[in-house]
Amino acid sequence: MENTPLDSTLGKASGVRRIIAATRYSMQGLVRLWREQAFRHEVYAFCAGLALFAIVGAAAIDYFIFLILMLLLFCVEALNTAIEELVDRISPEISTVGRHAKDLGSFAVFCMLTANGLFVLYVLAKTFFRLH
């Protein structure tokens, strides 16, 4: 048997086809995540934050940091949703381990929400009290 890459033996796409497939999977994940009310609220909060930054005249770097923080929040929310789905699929009965996994995912989202909220408060304080 000749040496072939693992991807080719499993029938996985490579090159541009792999990028297209990965993009399709990501969009499917986004569509799934949009069904989560918490994610929709986070997207609305992102839009409200952008509007608030425009109203107070936030600096470009503030927008950039806010964008990065929100993308991280969206990532953590997606991972939390994945954890919840896996726990529900693997262990539909109530279990301590399943509850802990879900609680840990929820805590990760809470940490990111807190980081985002603190940053928005910082930008507002910096703007209103002329802190630099």
Which listed residue (36, 42, 77, 85) is catalytic? 77
Stretch 79-84: mean pLDDT: 96
Give residue 11's pLDDT: 64
> Sign of torsion, CA 43 47 48 53?
positive
| pTM for this model (two decimals) | 0.84
CATH number, domain 36-128:
1.10.287.3610
Report pLDDT digits (tens) over 84-105: 999 999 987 888 999 999 999 9
Report pLDDT digits (tens) over 36-80: 999 999 999 999 999 999 999 999 999 999 999 999 999 999 999
Q: Burial-class residue 50 by CB neighbours within 10 Å (0-12, 13-18, 19+).
A: middle
Domain residue limits, the chain? 1-34, 36-128
Q: In 3D, which of 119, 118, 117, 80 has the Cα closest to residue 101? A: 80
Q: In 3D, which of 55, 75, 68 has the Cα closest to residue 127? A: 55
Question: Catalytic site residue 77?
Answer: yes
Q: Is the pLDDT of residue 5 over 80?
A: no
